[in-house]
């Protein structure tokens, strides 16, 4: 197996342009589309609160870099939205908000609603805690909150922070979406064309000559598949490193966990490529089918757009059988939602299972065709 790996790496050093091209394209697409989607969104705002621009509420709600809130009258706000100059307008109240829209198909509407839910949910929770604490005139609410959060060992009460958003809250980060989506998409081509070498070597009779050598058949499979896995994982890890340390994307502090989630995803794509190689008859068929499969998987798996904005139950059910969907869920959970490793075991297990099943089917089909 090591001799096959050595030969593969030598061939890669002679012709490295495939992986370099796919890596560069992933970075460029993610940078361009991420920057376009991450531009500031103008939102007209109207309110009944007097002198709102001098209040803490106005200062706090404008701390976001994703939205630019401009204060207008109610008639002006509705006119702006109806004429299409803005996708939505917002009426701000002390403890609630109202969104005015013409259509609900815009992805920016989900971003705006998510931000306002987060802002007012945290504001409401903070007010409720302070009201409960001020029920007694002898209690300083700020001091109580500080002591409860600092006390870790053997507490008399268990304190949990919660929000009315609940566990089903959806957070859409277009920058993370483009980085994850295009990285997972382009690596399919890198892995597939490396696994495709198995088909070429069988067609050219290389495997027949290797069988006569001391190499065992499992070593021939393992050498090709391990090489494809290493090259694919190196590509996606390199792209993530470029965005983390070159571009400065913080990955919400979950950069290390994303590298772990990528391992079963790359394994599942290697297995999928082997399965495709086993059912095609020629290089031409493989080139046609891999383009179709990669695009379909990316659309169904949420690489091009978040699955959170897809309303079709049928498409969502079909996406359960797509590796990209589970990889995107794992990557978003590790970053945007800050999930611990224990919660990442589900997508990791699904991807691993997919890989084992596909690689088993692929090898069996290939061996039967050549029997």
pLDDT at 219: 74
Tell me what pLDDT residue 156 has.
47
Q: What is the dihedral of CA 113, 261, 364, 7, to 10 degrees?
A: 130
Per-residue pLDDT at 161: 43
- What letter does residue 1 receive in the DSSP assignment? -
pLDDT at residue 286 in the model = 85
Helices (H), the chain: 2-14, 17-37, 56-61, 74-82, 107-133, 141-150, 174-204, 206-211, 217-241, 255-279, 283-301, 313-319, 323-335, 341-369
Could you tell me the CA-to-CA distances from 114 to 117, 169, 220, 271 in Å, in that order? 5, 8, 51, 37
Q: Please write the tens of the pLDDT for every residue from 301-350.
A: 888 888 877 778 888 898 899 999 999 999 999 988 888 888 899 999 99
Q: What span, in angstroms and rounded, lies between the C-alpha atoms of 54 and 329?
A: 41
Every domain of the chain and the residues it spans:
2-36+172-369, 41-135
CA 112 to chain centroid, in Å, comes to 19
How far apart are the C-alpha atoms of 235 and 238, rounded to whole Å?
Answer: 5
Question: The dihedral of CA 12, 16, 22, 28: what is its sign?
Answer: positive
- Whether this prediction's pTM lies above 0.95 is answered by no
Kindly tell me if the per-residue pLDDT of 214 is higher than 70. no
CB atoms within 10 A of CB 183: 28
> Residues 256-283: pLDDT tens digits?
999 999 999 999 999 999 899 888 888 8
Structure tokens at 111: 């971003």
88-92 β-sheet, strand order: 67-71, 41-47, 88-92, 97-101
Residue 261: its pLDDT value, please?
93
- Minimal CA–CA distance to 23: which of 332, 283, 243? 243
Do residues 125 and 162 touch, judged by C-beta distance below 8 A? yes
Interval 161-185: pLDDT, tens = 443 334 455 666 777 888 898 889 9
CA distances from 181 to 140, 149, 240, 327, 331 (A): 48, 38, 12, 10, 10
Q: What's the fold here for domain 41-135?
A: D-Maltodextrin-Binding Protein; domain 2 (3.40.190)
Residue 228 vs residue 208, higher pLDDT: 228
In the chain, the percentage of residues whose pLDDT exceeds 70 is 76
Give the span between the Cα atoms of 89 and 322, in whole angstroms. 37
**pLDDT averaged over every residue in the chain:** 78
């Amino acid at each position: 197996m090591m001799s096959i790996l050595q030969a593969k790496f030598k061939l890669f050093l002679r012709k490295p342009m495939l992986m370099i091209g796919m890596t560069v394209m992933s970075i460029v697409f993610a940078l361009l589309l991420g920057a376009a989607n991450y531009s500031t969104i103008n939102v007209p705002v109207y309110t009944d609160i007097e002198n709102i621009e001098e209040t803490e509420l106005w200062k706090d709600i404008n701390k976001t870099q994703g939205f630019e809130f401009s204060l207008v009258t109610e008639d002006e706000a509705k006119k702006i939205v109806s004429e299409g100059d803005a996708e939505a307008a917002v009426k701000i109240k002390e403890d609630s908000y109202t969104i005015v829209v013409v259509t609900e198909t815009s992805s920016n509407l989900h971003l705006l609603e998510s931000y306002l839910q987060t802002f007012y949910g945290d504001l409401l929770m903070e007010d409720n805690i302070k009201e409960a604490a001020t029920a007694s005139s002898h209690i300083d609410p700020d001091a109580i909150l500080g002591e409860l959060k600092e006390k870790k060992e053997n507490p008399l009460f268990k304190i949990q922070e919660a929000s009315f958003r609940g566990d089903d809250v959806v957070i859409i980060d277009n920058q993370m979406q483009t980085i994850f989506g295009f990285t997972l998409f382009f690596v399919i081509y890198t892995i597939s064309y490396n696994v495709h070498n198995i088909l070429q070597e069988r067609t050219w009779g290389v495997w027949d000559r290797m069988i006569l050598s001391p190499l065992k058949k499992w070593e021939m499979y393992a050498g090709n598949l391990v090489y494809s896995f290493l090259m694919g994982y190196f590509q996606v890890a390199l792209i993530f490193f470029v965005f983390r340390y070159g571009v400065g994307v913080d990955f919400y502090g979950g950069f290390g966990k994303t590298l772990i989630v990528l391992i079963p995803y790359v394994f599942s794509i290697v297995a999928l490529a082997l399965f495709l190689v086993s059912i095609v008859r020629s290089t031409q068929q493989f080139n046609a089918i891999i383009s179709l499969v990669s695009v379909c998987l990316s659309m169904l798996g949420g690489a091009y757009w978040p699955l959170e904005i897809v309303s079709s139950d049928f498409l969502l059910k079909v996406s359960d059988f797509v590796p990209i969907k589970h990889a995107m869920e794992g990557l978003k959970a590790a970053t945007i939602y800050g999930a611990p490793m224990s919660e990442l075991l589900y997508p990791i297990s699904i991807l691993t299972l997919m890989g084992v099943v596909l690689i088993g089917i692929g090898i069996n089909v290939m061996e039967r065709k050549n029997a």
